[in-house]
C-alpha cells in the first residue's frame, strides 16, 4: 500500500517568524506619508537650524525672482540728442551796419560727426534707470552751446570781427513727458533752440520733436527734426561709453528757418 506524502508539521519557530513579518508589514502600511514641507515644518519646531535654512531658501527665491525681473528690464541706459554745426562760420542772409564788414555770420562748432562731447548747439540727455528701485527717468537741463556773432569782410568768413556771444534759452529745449515700467521706458523730446542774434520773425532755430521708446530688442525713435544743423543720437549703458545710433548731416542754412518739405525730416526707425 502506498502511503500518501504529508508535509512536515510547522515548528514553533516558523510560526513566530511569520507573525513578526506580518506585523511589520501592517505597521508600515499604517505609517503617514510626510511631504517635504511637512517634514521641514516638523523639524523646524524643534530645530532652529532647519528654520534658518527655510528662511534662507525663501529669501533666495525672492532674490532670484527680483534679479530675473531686473535682467529682463535691461540695464540702466542713456540717450543723447546732439546737434552741432560742422563748419567754422555760417553767413546769414542779412547785412551789418559796419560797411567795412558788411556780412553777418555766426560761429559753428568746427568738427565732424562722431564726437558726442565736443562743441555743440544743443545736447540733451535722457537717463533711464531700469535697475533702480523704484525705476525712474531723469532729464538733466539741456546743454546749450555759446553762439558767436561776427561782422565779416566777405561771405566766406574772412576779415571777421566778433560782435558778441550769447546762448539760446535752455528752457525751450526739454523733455515733455517720460514713463518707465518693467522693461519699457519712453520719453518725448521737444527742442526749439533759436539763434539769439536775430529778432523774430523770422526765427532761425533748431527744431526737434521726437519720441523714444526703449525696450530690449525693440527700441525705436519716431518724430521729425530740421535738416540743419547736423543731428546725431547716441546711447549707452550707465556708466559707459556712447555709441552712435543715428546721423543726419546738415543740408543748408535755409533749414534753420521755418520751412517744410526737404527741411523737415520724418523719422521712424529702430535704435
In the three-class reduction of DSSP (H, G, I as helix; E, B as strand; rest coil), residue 84 is classed as strand
Closest CA relative to residue 89, chosen from 145, 160, 146: 160
Q: Which residues pair with 235 in a beta bridge?
A: 79, 243
Closest C-alpha to 54, from 69, 39, 75, 64? 39
This prediction has a pTM of 0.73
Cβ neighbours of residue 106 under 8 Å, at least 6 residues apart?
89, 90, 92, 147, 148, 149, 150, 195, 197
152 near 99, Cβ under 8 Å? Answer: no
* In the chain, domain spans: 85-270
Q: pLDDT tens across 155-202, in order?
A: 998 999 999 999 998 999 999 999 999 999 999 999 999 888 776 666
Q: To which residue does cell 525696450 refer?
A: 215
Coil, strand, or helix at residue 218?
coil
Q: How far does the chain reach from its first CA to its final CA, in angstroms? A: 108
Q: Which residues of the chain have pLDDT under 50?
A: 1-9, 11-16, 20-21, 23-32, 34, 37, 39-46
Distance of CA 188 to the CA centre of its chain: 13
Give the model's pLDDT for residue 4.
43
CA dihedral 33, 38, 42, 45 (to 10 degrees): -170
Amino acid at each position: 500500500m502506498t502511503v500518501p506524502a504529508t508535509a512536515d508539521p510547522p515548528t514553533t519557530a516558523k510560526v513566530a517568524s511569520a507573525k513578526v513579518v506580518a506585523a511589520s508589514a501592517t505597521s508600515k502600511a499604517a505609517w503617514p506619508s510626510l511631504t517635504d514641507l511637512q517634514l521641514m515644518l516638523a523639524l523646524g519646531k524643534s530645530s532652529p537650524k532647519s528654520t534658518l535654512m527655510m528662511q534662507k531658501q525663501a529669501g533666495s527665491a525672492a532674490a532670484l525672482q527680483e534679479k530675473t525681473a531686473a535682467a529682463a528690464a535691461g540695464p540702466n541706459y542713456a540717450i543723447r540728442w546732439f546737434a552741432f554745426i560742422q563748419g567754422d562760420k555760417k553767413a546769414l542772409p542779412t547785412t551789418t551796419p559796419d560797411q567795412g564788414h558788411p556780412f553777418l555770420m555766426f560761429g559753428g562748432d568746427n568738427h565732424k560727426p562722431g564726437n558726442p562731447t565736443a562743441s555743440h548747439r544743443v545736447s540733451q540727455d535722457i537717463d533711464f534707470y531700469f535697475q533702480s528701485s523704484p525705476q525712474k527717468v531723469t532729464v538733466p537741463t539741456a546743454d546749450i552751446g555759446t553762439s558767436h556773432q561776427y561782422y565779416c569782410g566777405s561771405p566766406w568768413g574772412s576779415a571777421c570781427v566778433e560782435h558778441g556771444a550769447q546762448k539760446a534759452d535752455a528752457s525751450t529745449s526739454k523733455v515733455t513727458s517720460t514713463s518707465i515700467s518693467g522693461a519699457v521706458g519712453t520719453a518725448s523730446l521737444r527742442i526749439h533752440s533759436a539763434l539769439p542774434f536775430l529778432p523774430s520773425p523770422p526765427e532761425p532755430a533748431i527744431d526737434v520733436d521726437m519720441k523714444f521708446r526703449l525696450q530690449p530688442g525693440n527700441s525705436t525713435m519716431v518724430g521729425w527734426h530740421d535738416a540743419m544743423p547736423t543731428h546725431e543720437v547716441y546711447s549707452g549703458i550707465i556708466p559707459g561709453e556712447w555709441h552712435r545710433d543715428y546721423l543726419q548731416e546738415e543740408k543748408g542754412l535755409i533749414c534753420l528757418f521755418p520751412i517744410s518739405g526737404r527741411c523737415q525730416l520724418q523719422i521712424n526707425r529702430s535704435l
